[in-house]
Amino acid sequence: EKEGYAHFMMKEINEQPRGVYETLHRRLDKEDNIVLDGIKITKEDLDKINKVYIVACGTAYHAGLVGKYAIEKFAKIPVDVEVASEFRYRDPFVDENTLFIAVSQSGETLDTLAALREAKRKGARILSVVNVVGSSVARESDDVFYTWAGPEIAVASTKAYTTQLISMYLLSLHMAMTKGTLTEEQYKAYIKELKEMPDKIQAILDDHETIQQLADEQFNNENVFYIGRGLDVTVAYEGSLKLKEISYIHSEAIAAGELKHGTIALIEEGRLVVALATQDKLYDKMLSNIQEVRARGAYVIGVAKKGNKEIEKSADKVIYIPDTLDELTPILSVIPLQILAYYIAVARGCDVDKPKNLAKSVTVE
């Protein structure tokens, strides 16, 4: 059932155009309005909500970080994102004007479920973004947004993440249009771009050999850093987690501007740095950060939007993603990082689908 792929993970990486397409198109009517069947939040409800918490674990938490950015930017509601195991034990400020969003592929992660129950007890409205239909998280929520990734078998999450991103964008755009915080024109531009994502993801997948080559050159590196600014940091976290969990290489992701506040001490000859530079506003800043780490001997793989060639002067190698709106780049920039982690793990002879010490669904503390 791996359909010719060596691992479920690679099969699932390749299923992302489909998963993204389904998650998106099942929510758009003929006029491209977002229709959310499982969500009953009215304009009145939304006007009352003055705080959103997005709570999740691991990769789902990383999708939540993008959700914060999108909800704050489009719908103008303050958002906190927190890992579930922290949220549930710290007496967070939650009341009936809080919207609590749980993000979970399995819908069975114990910490996420416990955090949800705690928020519910305090009167919050509970919305969940879940992949497994009828799972515990879905059943205990007021509103449910199902991602249409299909079953995810590999322990390392890939297609669940990209479909969670689509959910975050659709939810935030829906909130924004209900509240009137985006113009029709802005809305149309985002939807138009979202609809192009399946093809743009496919274009990156078609070029996987370039990334495989990089992996074959770099698989022996025992310390890998991922850096970025703005939305790129959230993708850096996810890329780093993918690498750690399947290749057992030590890795760290950090906001590039934080490097000089400590972590740059670890950058020395031969260290691999993956530098995401997809945000137009922050592009020049990232180029300086790349020069900083290069000056200390790091080997830098840059990730940039097609056309932004300036980066070739600073990075050793560049992976280009198709051009898109800055707000939406995570859907594309994560793909090469998933592929890179995969091929590095394969080159090291790791059991990609079943990494040691990890379970697909964490139903214990």
Report whether 163 contacts 147 (CB < 8 A): yes
Q: Which residue is nearest to ligand F6R (CB)?
A: 58
Please check whether residue 249 is in contact with residue 277, taking contact to mean a CB–CB distance below 8 angstroms.
Answer: no
Measured between alpha carbons, how far is 74 from 71 in angstroms, rounded to an integer?
5
Q: How far is the CB of 221 from ligand F6R (least distance, A)?
A: 20
Given the complex with ligand F6R, which of 156 and 334 has the nearer CB atom? 156
Q: How far is the CB of 176 from ligand F6R (least distance, A)?
A: 25
**Which residues face 194 on adjacent strands?**
none
Quick count: other Cβ atoms within 10 Å of Cβ 194? 24
Report which residue type is found at 290. I
Smallest distance from the beta carbon of 277 to ligand F6R, in angstroms? 24
Kindly list the residues in this chain that would bind ligand F6R in the complex (CB under 6 A): 57-60, 104-106, 109, 112, 156-157, 241, 245, 361-362
CB of 146 to ligand F6R, least distance (A): 13
Cα of first residue to Cα of last residue in the chain, in angstroms, is 32
Catalytic residue among 51, 120, 354, 360: 360
- Beta-strand relationship, 98-104 and 79-83: unpaired
Q: Reply yes or no on whether 242 is catalytic.
A: no
Question: Cβ of residue 251: shortest distance to ligand F6R, in angstroms?
Answer: 13
Tell me the C-alpha distance between 285 and 288, whole Å: 5
As beta bridge partners, residue 228 has 255
Cα 116 from chain centroid (whole Å): 21
Instruction: Write down the least CB distance from residue 264 to ligand F6R, Å.
Output: 27
Which residues make Cβ contacts (< 8 Å) with residue 48, sequence separation at least 6? 96, 97
Nearer to ligand F6R, 104 or 333 (CB): 104
By C-beta, is 156 or 328 nearer to ligand F6R?
Answer: 156
Nearer to ligand F6R, 256 or 331 (CB): 331
Distance CA 242, CA 179 (A): 36
* Cβ 112 to ligand F6R shortest distance, Å: 5
As a whole number of angstroms, the distance between CA 187 and CA 168 comes to 14
DSSP 310-346: GGGGT-SEEEEE----GGGTHHHHHHHHHHHHHHHHH
Closer to ligand F6R by Cβ: residue 59 or 141: 59
104: left (phi over 0), alpha (psi -120 to 50) or beta: beta
Give the residue with the Cβ less far from ligand F6R, 108 or 292.
Answer: 108
Hey, which residues does 102 pair with through a beta bridge? Answer: 55, 128
Q: Rank residues 55 and 276 by Cβ distance to ligand F6R and give the closer one.
A: 55
Helix (H, G, I), strand (E, B) or coil at 51: strand
Give the active site residues.
360
